Chain A
Amino acid sequence: MTDEVFELVGPEGQTRRGILTLPDGGPPQAALLLLTAGVKYRTGPGQLYVALARRLAELGFATLRFDPLCVGESDGSLEAAPSHELWLSAERGRFVADAALAYEALERHLGGLTPVFLGGLCGGGLTAQMTAAALPQRPAGLISINIAARETPVPGRPVAVVASESRATLRSYPRKLVSAAAWKRVFTGTTSVRTLATTVAAILRLKHAPKLDESLNPRFVASLRRTRALQIPHLLIFSGTDSRWFHFNDLVLGPLFQGEMKGPAHEVRVVPDAEHHLFMPEWRDAAVAWIAEWMRRR
């Protein structure tokens, strides 16, 4: 495989940069544009994007790991701000215009004949979805990993816990019942009674909400509706222990996908024990296998 520096200049004269990884032995079967996870630069957290790009290249796919303006190697720099505000700015479309520029530049670079998919982790998946909804042309598809259906909560404000999340938390309770440290926390008042009450209340709720929940990010809902209306194929990969999966499973899968994990234009896959960033190599291998197989089918 080959890594190339990829640069594109925007209409205002500033340069965005990325790394294009190409497979050996001829043109790629397809290309994946990986977009900024939160405000992390193009390597992704724990080198996730690097690992995906290199394993996909071994399977014949190209990947562009891309930094929008103010991130990583691209021109500009992020303003100093609370992290949740920066994440929110991404969830509200901060990087969509640059993602669209990168999509068009990548398509041109590959000669217009290679199908180009958009994707990313968490906020990167959301940027991909918002970009696909806004592009004048239809991309080959979307690949989101732990897409953020809700906005990042403001610190200190209570967050509604969903049933799946509470059930996952409940699994630790039998162990806590025989834990001296846990009982000590109860008697010293360290354990939050409110948290316990919230957990129990959430467990009693329906797993799949019958209608769209108000806690969802309206931009997530609007762009998901738009990409579904355009029948843009979407592979949604989730980590089984991540709150993004619980939110999607309980609040989105029912109302917008009729509870179906697979349909004509979508497929939901879950890595059972994985955490948000797919830290372990075996989780990354599973994601790569699904992505490659899914892109090949498209």
Chain B
Amino acid sequence: MRYRSGFLENRRGQRLFFAEDVPERASREGPVWIVCSPVLEEKNVSQGAMVNAARALSASGARVIRIDYEGHGDSRGETVGLGLDAWIADIEDTATWARATSEGQLSLLGCRAGAILAARAAAAVKADRVIAWCPVLNGADYVQDLLRMNLTTQMAIHQRVVQNREAMVRVLQEGGTINVLGWNLGPALYQSLVAETFAQAVAPLTCEVDVLDLVRKKGAPPPPAVAALAAPPRVTVRAVTGIQFWIDGNFLDTQQTELIRATLEISARVSTP
């Protein structure tokens, strides 16, 4: 397996960091995966798991490309003026870049909000399949999670809430910015998130979509809201055991053995039609 990293330019002229793992005997016709990371701080926390997923897929014979969206990771730009559309475009630009040297089936692996981005980009990049890891189901709920993180930081600094949720939403609606764990968020991201759900993003797709969600207990079913996404044979839902790897918790597991094993099973179906 060979590793290569560098920078490619997106349509807005910003340099995006990419890393790719390529099998030793890769051919132009071999399968290609683009890994679509979570966004904001979840991207940083989940980095190890996404790297391990890419390495495992590559070891099974695929060319695997990871990119940092504009304003994320080692890529240029700032998140403050950007919304989901910008990062969907980054995935499309990466696919165009990949297609210049690969003609094989292209699939997308998206994690958390990255699953929404992958689903939204899938049609434009003519993806053969989307695998969604623990997708963010509802953008509006996700915004509430982000606001709660801001509140937690306020409590740590001031030992009280200086700006409550309603005030923060007002700031965003009026074109201002708020800071969540070091990330400056603006109205474009707020507006695009509150209007988005994973189900809506998946609905128009004609390719197969596999949703993999984490549960604590072996054999436990996925939560009802996730199970409700199932629409076989196009959309399948499966739960595997594991610990959330995108939040700073008490236990860090970047290995995600079960999740990656399930992903490899799906990927084997893609590479051997």
A interface, CB within 8 angstroms of B: 3, 5, 15, 17, 19, 39-43, 45-48, 50-51, 65, 71-73, 77-84, 86, 155, 169, 171-172, 175, 241, 273-275, 277-281
Contacts and interface: CB of A to CB of B under 8 A. Distances in A.
B159 A171 contact: yes
A72 B47 CA distance: 6
A279 B182 contact: yes
Q: Which 4 A-B pairs have the closest CB atoms?
A: A46-B182, A172-B159, A80-B253, A279-B182
B5 A71 contact: no
Contacts of A279: 153, 179, 181-182
B181 A277 contact: yes
B5 A5 contact: yes
Contacts of A83: 248-252
Interface string B43-63: 011011001100000000000
B97 interface: no
Contacts, number: 96
B7 A72 contact: no
B156 A241 contact: yes
Interface residues of B, number: 36
Contacts of A40: 44-45
Contact of A45 (B7, B181, B251): B181
Contacts of A277: 181-182
Contacts of B200: none
B183 A46 contact: yes
B183 A73 contact: no
9 contacts: A3-B15, A45-B44, A46-B183, A50-B73, A73-B5, A77-B48, A83-B248, A172-B159, A275-B156
A175 B5 contact: no
Given A77-B51, A241-B157, 10 more contacts: A19-B17, A39-B252, A42-B74, A45-B181, A47-B44, A78-B252, A86-B252, A279-B179, A281-B179, A281-B184
A199 B179 CA distance: 31
